[in-house]
Amino acid sequence: MLRWVRQQLGFDPPHQSDTRTIYIANRFPQHGHYVPQKFADNRIISSKYTVWNFVPKNLFEQFRRVANFYFLIIFLVQLMIDTPTSPITSGLPLFFVITVTAIKQGYEDWLRHKADNEVNGAPVYVVRSGGLVKTRSKNIRVGDIVRVAKDETFPVDLVLLSSDRVDGSCHVTTASLDGETNLKTHVAVPETAVLQSVANLDKLVAVIECQQPEADLYRFVGRITISQQTEEIVRPLGPESLLLRGARLKNTKEIFGVAVYTGMETKMALNYKSKSQKRSAVEKSMNSFLIIYLIILLFEAILSTILKYAWQAEEKWDEPWYNGKTEHERNSSKILRFISDFLAFLVLYNFIIPISLYVTVEMQKFLGSFFIGWDLDLYHEETNQRAQVNTSDLNEELGQVEYVFTDKTGTLTENEMQFRECSINGIKYQEVNGKLTPEGFSEDSPDGNRHSLMKEEELFLKAVCLCHTVQINADQTDGADGPWHANGIAAPLEYYASSPDEKALVEAASRVGVVFTGTSGDSMEIKSLGKPERYKLLHVLEFDPNRRRMSVIVESPSGEKLLFTKGAESSILPRSKSGEIDKTRIHVDEFALKGLRTLCVAYRRFTPEEYQEVGKRLHEARTALQQREERLADVFNFIERDLELLGATGVEDKLQEKVQETIEALRLAGIKVWVLTGDKHETAVSVSLSCGHFHRTMNILELVQHKSDSTCAEQLRQLAKRIKEDHVIQHGLVVDGTSLSLALREHEKLFMDVCKNCSAVLCCRMAPLQKAKVVRLLKTSPEKPITLAIGDGANDVSMIQEAHVGIGIMGKEGRQAVRNSDYAIARFKFLSKLLFVHGHFYYIRIATLVQYFFYKNVCFITPQFLYQFFCLFSQQTLYDSVYLTLYNICFTSLPVLIYSLFEQHVHPHVLQSKPVLYRDISKNAHLGFKPFLYWTILGFFHAFVFFYGSYLLMGEDTSLLGNGQMFGNWTFGTLVFTVMVITVTMKMALETHFWTWINHFVTWGSIVFYFIFSLFYGGIIWPFLHTQDMYFVFVQLLSSGSAWFAIILIVVACLFLDVVKKVLYRHLQPTSTEKAQLTEAGSGINCLDSMCCVSAGEAAGASLRGVLERVTGRCGAGRPSRCGISLGSLCCRRLSYKLEPEEPAAVDV
C-alpha cells in the first residue's frame, strides 16, 4: 500500500523493464493476472510554459538574474522604509524590463504551442473494430494499427506490417530527421506483408517485444511473434522495419504499421536535445563589471552613512532648529537607525547598476542577428540558401575566435564524388570515353564499338553494382516501358544514395557496361554488357563505423552463394587471403596521395555447408533481444574473412570554391585552423596541402600508427624537441585517431604544448566523439581560447555543440549539423565574411554598448553622491523622481541601441580584405580591465565636471533668474541633469563613425525630446501627482542666459579632453583599425546613405522604402543587382557612383 502511495506521488516511479511488450491492435491476453504496461500518449510538447505556470515560472527565471533580483530587493526596501525616492523610481524600470522580456518569451512559446497543436490535431486513420477510423494524431495509442498514405508524414514510430507492394516494402525519406533526401527502403516481415487489407489486419494476432525508447535514430532491436493457428512464428525486427515519426512515405501508395513509440517517447522527440547554454565572453565580462559596480555602490552607501553620523556627532547638526526629531526617532535603536540610513543611501545610489542594460543587450542581439540572414554576400545562389542564425546570444563571439576546427568532407570539399581511377587485379585503370582503360593504354577504338570486359574486370564491376544501398527513381522502375525515352533511346537511370561515394561508383560502373537496373522483391537486377542478370539478395551486413565496411550475400543466376564486401583498406586488406594484395595496397596509397577517397572491394564464395552455418548464426544474432549489436558484430567478423581481393576505387571529392583563400585569411587574422576528419592519413594530408592548410614549405610532423603509451610519449618528446630547435620555420602536425587516444590518456599537457607550437594541425581517422574531445581539450586549456567548430554531417554534431561557436554547413550530408549549430552557412568561404565583418562589427558594437551603459550610470549617480556633502547627508535627492525613472528608459536609451545595431567603424570591404584587423579585437581587447577602467574614470570625471561646474557657475549666485527669484535646489539639480543628458548623448555621437539618418534622428531627437518633455512636465499642474516640485522650474532655468552659457561651457569642458585624447592617440599610437580608417578616408568611401544601397538617381524616399523592405524581409535575394555591397553590412553609396556586382569595391587595400 505504501509503495502504491509513493508511486502515485511520484517519489517511487513504477519499475520499468528493459523491454516493452506491445499487443498489436491492443488484444491483451485474457488471463486475469496480466497488467498492461503504461505508455505515453501521442502528444508532442515542445513548449516551455502553460497558461497556469507562465507567470511564476517566467518570473522565477528572470529573477535568477543578479541585476533583476537586486532591483527587486531595492524596490521592496523602498516599500518598507522611508526612503528619499519613490518606489516607482526603481519599480517602473524593473516592471518595464520584466514585462518586455516576458512578452518576448511568451510570444515565442505561444508560437511553439501553436505548432504543437497543429501537429497533435492532424487527422490520421487507425484500424479499430474491423474498419478505418479517422481520429486526431494525439489520440493514437501504442499498439494501434495506423494507415499512412503516399507523401504523408508518419505520426508515430511504427513497425511496418504491410504495404501495397507484394513484398511488403516501402520507400521513405528522412529529410526532416537527418536531412538525407535519398530514398530509404523499409521492409515488413513476410508473414504480415501479405495482410494488405483492413479486414485481414484486424484478424492479426501478434506480439512485439522491443527495447525501451532511445534517441539513436539508426538503432532498433525487437522481435515479432505471430500466432498462426497452432504455431507461433518469431521474426527479428531491426531498423529496416521501423518507420520514424517525422519521416515521409514516398513512391508507395499506402502502408499499415503498428505504433511502438508515441509522443515524447518517439525517436524524433528524444532527439530534441536541450543544448547546454553557451555564454559569450562579453556576457562574462558584463557580470564581472556588475560586481565591481556593486562594490562601488556599497562603498558609497557605507561612506555616506558613516559621514552622516560623523557630521551629526556635533549637537547643532544632530538636531537643527528647523528639523526637529520626533519622540519615536529619539528613542529608536542606533543600530536600527544605522541600518535604515544605509538602506536609504543604497536606494539613493542604486541607479549606478544599469537595469536596462540586459534588455538593451537582448534587443541588440535579437535585432542584430537579422543582418546575417539579410547579407547577400552570404547567400548561395546555386542552392538558394541564405545564412541562418539559430541563436543570437553569440553574435559578438564571432569576433573573438582563436581556433577553428573544421571537418573535411562536405566542409572544405563539395561532397560531390567523381570516379577517377580504380585498381583491378593489380592493374590501374582510368575511365576514358565511358570505357575502362588500363594505365598507359591509349584508347584508339571508335566510340561505337563496345569494349569487352575481362573476367576480373566484370566481377569487380558486378561487386560495385551489387554491394551498396543505392535506390532508383520509382518513376523509372515502375513504368511499363522501363527506363526509355519516347524516341526509343535509353534514358540514364537516376540513382539516389545516402553515400555520395556509392552513387559515384554505381554511376561509373553503368557508364562502362555493368548497369544496376533496380530491385524486384528480394532480387537485384543488373545488366552486364546489355545482358540482364538477376541476383537474389539473401542478407545485407550493414555498414557501421567500427567495422568500416558493408557486405551483401547474394545468390548468382547459377545458384552460387557469394559475399561481396567493400570498405576502408584498413578493414579489407587484413581480411584478404588472396588477390593482388601488395600491388593494390601501393595503388591505394597512390590514390590517397592524389587526394582521392579510397575503398577496397573483395568477395568470397560459400560452400552450401558454410552458407548454412552463416544463415543459422545470422538468424540467432538478429532475433536476440539482449546484446544484439555485439552478437551481430561477432557474426559479421566470422562471415567477412578469408576474402579474395578484387581491387580498389579512387573517387575525387573536389575542393569548394575559395577554400584556400579563406584558410589563408584565417591564418592572417591570427586564427589557427585544425582539420578533423575520418579520412585516411594520406588522403587527408593531400587535401590539406591542396587547400592551403599545410604549406609546401611547412615542416610536417607526424604522430601516427602508435600502439603503446611509451612509443607515443617518446615521439611527442622528439617532436617537442624538433619544434624547439627549428623555431624559425612553421610546423604542421598530423595525428591519427589511435595515437590521439594514447596522447590524451596520459600525455595531455605534452600533446597540447606540441599542438600550440604548430601553425596547422590535421587529425585523421577521427571518431565523432574524438572530435568533441579535442575541442574540449583546447577549450579548457589554461589560456581558455575561444573555439569555433564547423561541419556538415551528423558526425560533426558533437564537435559543433562542444565549441564556443558551432557552425553548420548546409551540405549534402543532411541537416543534423545545421539544426544543432548556432549559425549555418552554405559554403566554407562565407566563414571569412561571417568572422571578419559581422563578428568584428558585433563585438565592437556590444563592447561599446556595455561600457557606455556603465559610464552613463556613473555620470548619473556620482552627482547624487557629491550632493550629499552639501545637504548634511540628509538623503535629499538631487533629481526629481520622474527624471530618475526616465533617464535610462527614455532620455539615453535609443542612441546607444541604434549605435549597437548600425555602427561600422571601418568599411566592410576593408575588414574583409585586411584580415589582420581582426587581431585588434582578439582576446576581448575592447572589454578588458583597461578599457573598462578608462570608461569608469571618464564617467567619474564627467560627473565631477557636471556637479562642480554647475555649482561654481550657478550655485553661489542667487540673482541669475530673470524674475529675481533665488536659484533653488531643484533648479540646480535640473541644470546638472540637463548638462548630463546632453553630454552623454554627445559622447555617444563622438563614438559613432557610421552616420545614417536613423542615428541623426535618435541622437538629436533624444535631446529635443528631453527639452520638450521637461517643458510639458514642469509647465502644467498634473492632478495625479501629489507633489509638484518641478512646476515651472525648467521654464525659469531656460529663461536665464547664464544657464544657457553654463550648459554650453560645461558640455564643451567635458568633451574637449576626450576629443584631444582621441586626436593624440590616433596620430601618435594608431591601431591597425585606425590606420585602415585613414586608408578608407583616402580611398573616397563615403557612407552617406543608409540601410539599402541605391543608385544616385533613385528618389529620396528610397532609403526609407529600403528600411521597410528590410524589416519585412523583402530586401532579399532578388535584389543583388542593385548593389555590390551586401545588405547585411548596411551598405552605403557615393552620390556620384554606383557599385555594381561585377565591379571591384573602391577600396585601396
Residues classed as catalytic: 407
Residue-wise burial string across 809-840, b where 16 or more C-beta atoms lie within 10 A, e elsewhere: bbbbbbbbbbbbbbbbbbbbbbbbbbbbbbbb
How wide is the angle at C-alpha 584 spanned by C-alphas 583 and 586, nearest 5°? 65
Sequence-ordered alpha helix ranges (H) in 748-891: 748-756, 768-779, 797-802, 816-819, 830-833, 840-867, 881-886
Crossing angle for the helix pair 281-311 and 840-867, to the nearest 10 degrees: 10
Query: CB 86: neighbour CB atoms within 10 A?
Result: 17
Q: Is 1017 helix (H, G, I), strand (E, B) or coil?
A: helix
- CA gap 196, 127 in Å, rounded: 12
- The residues facing 162 across adjacent strands are 256
- CA gap 879, 864 in Å, rounded: 8
Take residue 832 and report the three cell numbers written for it. Answer: 571569412
- CA gap 823, 842 in Å, rounded: 14
Contacts of 751 (CB under 8 A, 6+ apart): 716, 743, 744
Q: Do 1149 and 914 contact (CB within 8 A), yes or no?
A: yes
Contacts of 619 (CB under 8 A, 6+ apart): 236
Residue-wise burial string across 57-74, b where 16 or more C-beta atoms lie within 10 A, e elsewhere: ebeeebbebebbebbbeb
Take residue 1091 and report the three cell numbers written for it. Answer: 540601410
- CA gap 859, 943 in Å, rounded: 5
**DSSP assignment of 368-387, as one string?**
HTHHHHH-GGG-BTTTTB--
Residue 929: which H helix or E strand, with range?
Answer: helix 929-950
- CA gap 359, 361 in Å, rounded: 5
Q: Is 574 helix (H, G, I), strand (E, B) or coil?
A: helix
How wide is the angle at C-alpha 1102 spanned by C-alphas 1096 and 1107, nearest 5°? 130
Contacts of 492 (CB under 8 A, 6+ apart): 483, 510
Phi, psi at 652, each rounded to 5° = -95, 135
Q: Do 87 and 79 contact (CB within 8 A), yes or no?
A: yes
- CA gap 864, 883 in Å, rounded: 13
- The residues facing 841 across adjacent strands are none
Q: Is 1076 helix (H, G, I), strand (E, B) or coil?
A: helix
Sequence-ordered alpha helix ranges (H) in 406-561: 455-466, 474-478, 500-511
SS3 content of the chain, % helix, strand, coil (to 5): 50, 20, 35
Contacts of 1011 (CB under 8 A, 6+ apart): none
**DSSP assignment of 338-362, as one string?**
HHHHHHHHHHHHGGGS-THHHHHHH
Q: What is the DSSP letter of 815?
A: S
Residue 1114: which H helix or E strand, with range?
Answer: none
